[in-house]
Amino acid sequence: MTKLSRPLTRRWLGRAATAAVGAVALATAVATAAPAASATTTAHASSASHIVKAGGGSFVLRRLGTVNLRALARADARRGHAAATSSSHLKMVPLRTPHAFAHSGKAIHAGPAATSLSNRFVGNIRGEHGFDGITAAINGAANSPDAGGVGDVSPPDQALAVGPSTAGTAIVEYVNDTLNIYSPSGKTLLGAIPGYQIFGLPGSAFLSDPRAYRDPQSGHWFLTQFTSGTTYPNVATQYIAVSQTTSPFGPYTTFAIDTEDLSNTAGGCPCFGDFDQVGMDRSGFFIATNQFSATSFNGSVIYAMSKSALISAAESFGFPPPVVQTYVVPFASDSFAAYHLSPSTVTPGSSAPNTEYFVESNSNLNYGAGLKVYALLHTGLLNSGGRPAMVESFINTESYAFPPNAIQKSGPTPYGCSIGYCMTASLQTDFNAVQEVTYASGRLFAELSTGFNYGTGQNTGVAWFVLGPRPHPSSLNVKRLGQGYVDSSQQLLYPVIGVNAAGNGYLSFAVSSTTRYPSTAYVVFKGRGGPTGPIHLAASGVNPLDDFTCYPPFSTGQCRYGDYSMSTYYNGMIYMASEYVAPQPRDTFSNWATRVWYAPVR
């Protein structure tokens, strides 16, 4: 994460209930923008944009080597390893946030009017199918200490990519710290591969925040993760793998970016880029990170490069790696804290612009309103080693707030009891930063977790936004086309919007409550009108999360969860994935699992 002269806050130690937005919700209600006559679906223009004088420079991407996923899976299957049996082999991915988050406990009232559309959960959409993906037990075995691996890792940050292959539709699932490929029936097409093998690292490498993406224009597949330490193999590095062909099984060429930023002594470096997010437009491939040193948060660092040059360098070592342009947005120069500038990806079937968009919510406040949209203009310049200009625009929106931790239904916690903590812990909801941004036919779809008033307390729910950006030669206009909330008596965690080129699809999330174990759910999403109809339960959890991060010394009763769900469109279906607790074998230290499901776009 980008460093600044702000103290580093490690918010996995728990947090009090925070300020909430919205009126008191009806039990299990989906609250969306009021009818078209209301302000929430009337287009509102942004303020005047301005050029961002972002620091940074350029360098040539470092190429590492090649890897074949199918060959790795075959070798791992022959060896076979058991999961960790010692608590010395447990790795928690920390949540790092700016010190700016202050929990005042002050509530704010709803901005736009809201309409209750449902008061109950219902079953799946007709045509929905799903299966359980990677679990803690699978992940622990793949990263087995027997092979020098790090052991159990939590939480299972969720990456997902879907596309064609010689085996039919291929679903690539990638979590902390394992990758697998499935068919739509849930059949394993590959086998679990630890993340460190993908990038040619030893088993002691502790990688985090995986991303997977299939470029609908070229058909190539992209995988990313990063390390955040100061000594090999965990020196702060951003890793990238790009398929040499249109096959998700390999071979891939791997690349690396040094994120230590050693020349930045004012920022307290060596540093590292946290919470890497991948973006892509017609011409460019982008990675946005939050830069942290050991003691401070500095802002955002964006890496931009030619997509075609990156693919060419992956296809053949006869082509040089691309030039990488860096953009540094310091904490001090951004009124929203320069935290989590979430890049956009283009949904299949949509035209792709030569502009890359980044959407940011206000991380300087525990509660607030408004979004900033950054844009890199004329990204075709990257193809010739040029540097696209960065512009920024502000748009007024509904209010949002830092979400409270989520409650889960009480139940058996055998691992917790074995170490003297027979309790059902809460689930961390992280922050009110924008999660994923999807570009579809001239519109941006974005979402974030937010607190809501509910009864005498607070719940975590969803705020969603539809924006209409219009780039100009040296400026950017943005209209707010739609916005609203999904609010419930139950806790809604880690939302993500998946839409087709027409803007139709689903908003999906994890869900829990005092009467529900961690589960997965979704609601129909209709363009600028947003969510409509009831909440559909995709899969019901069978136990509370009983994970090593729920207990000391990792926390005082707040489980690491998430940190993000994922969704993508392919061939008439929206594919979704999120964490839950499945009816699957667990290992000693955790029972987390993932659910992958898909439903037709109506």
Please choose, from the candidates 129, 140, 132, 121, the residue with its C-alpha nearest in 3D space to the C-alpha of residue 590: 140
According to DSSP, residue 317 is labeled T
> For residue 201, how many C-alpha atoms fall within 13 Å in the half-sphere facing its CB?
31
> How would you class 384 by CB atoms within 10 Å of its CB: exposed for 0-12, middle for 13-18, buried for 19 or more?
exposed
Token readout for 261 is 């930023």
The one-letter amino acid at 568: T
Q: Under DSSP, is residue 130 helix (H, G, I), strand (E, B) or coil?
A: strand
Residue type, 179: L
**How many beta carbons lie within 10 A of that of residue 441, not counting itself?**
15
Residue 107 makes CB contacts below 8 A (sequence gap 6+) with 19, 20, 21, 367, 453, 458
Nearest to 143 by CA among 195, 99, 191, 105: 195
Question: Distance from CA of residue 466 to its chain's centroid?
Answer: 18
pLDDT at residue 587, rounded to an integer: 94
CA 554 to each of CA 70, 327, 428: distance values in angstroms, whole numbers, following the listed order: 35, 34, 13
Tell me the HSE value of 275 on the side-chain side, using a 13 A CA sphere.
Answer: 27
Q: In this predicted structure, what is the pLDDT of residue 567?
A: 98
pLDDT value, residue 559 = 97
First to last CA, the chain: 39
CB-based contact 458:451 (threshold 8 Å)? yes
- What ranges make up the beta strands (E) of 142-294? 152-154, 159-163, 170-175, 178-182, 193-194, 208-214, 221-227, 237-243, 252-258, 272-280, 284-292
- Predicted confidence at residue 513, as pLDDT, reads 95
Helices (H), 328-413: none
d(CA 479, CA 328): 26
Backbone φ and ψ for 3, nearest 5 degrees, come out as -95, 150
Q: Which two tokens stand for residue 441?
A: 């036919």
DSSP conformational letter for 124: P
Phi, then psi, of 104 in degrees rounded to 5: -80, -20
Do the Cβ atoms of 224 and 241 come closer than 8 Å?
Answer: yes
pLDDT attached to residue 62: 98
Q: Are 315 and 348 in contact (CB under 8 A)?
A: no
C-alpha distances in Å from residue 552, one per residue of 419, 517, 556, 557: 9, 22, 6, 8
Is 428 in contact with 413 (CB distance < 8 Å)?
Answer: no
* pTM, entire model: 0.92
Distance of alpha carbon 17 from the chain centroid: 23
Task: Name residue 509's beta-bridge partners.
Answer: 521
Q: Which residues pair with 593 in a beta bridge?
A: 135, 580
CA distances from 519 to 314, 398, 430, 491, 562 (A): 39, 28, 18, 10, 12
pLDDT score of 454: 82
- The token pair at 308 is 């075609």
Cα separation of 455 and 489, whole Å? 9
pLDDT at 17: 36
Whether the bond into 563 is cis, omega within 30 of 0: yes
pLDDT of residue 134: 98
346 residue type, one letter = V
Contact call for residues 534 and 120 (beta carbons, < 8 A): yes
CB 425, CB 551: distance < 8 Å: yes
Q: Return the amino acid letter for 176.
A: N
Quote the pLDDT of residue 248.
98
Contact 345, 359 (CB under 8 A): no
Q: How many residues does the chain have?
A: 602
Joined tokens for residue 296:
């401070």
Q: How far is CA 226 from CA 48, 176, 229, 522, in A?
A: 36, 11, 10, 30
HEC letters along 36-67: CCCHHHCCEECCCCEECCCECCEEECEEEEEE
Of 498, 518, 516, 515, whose CA–CA distance to 507 is shortest?
498
Handedness of CA 316, 63, 209, 250 (dihedral sign): positive
Mean pLDDT, the chain cut into blocks of 10 residues (602 residues total): 36 35 39 36 74 92 98 87 68 77 41 43 96 97 87 96 98 97 98 96 95 98 96 96 97 98 92 97 98 94 98 97 97 93 98 98 88 98 97 95 94 98 96 96 97 85 96 95 92 97 98 97 96 95 98 96 96 98 97 98 88
* Preceding amide of 251 cis, omega within 30: yes
SS3 189: coil
CB 179 within 8 A of CB 192: yes
Residue 279 burial by CB count (10 A; 0-12/13-18/19+): exposed, middle or buried?
buried
CA dist 471 and 391 (Å) reads 9
Give the DSSP letter of residue 79.
Answer: H
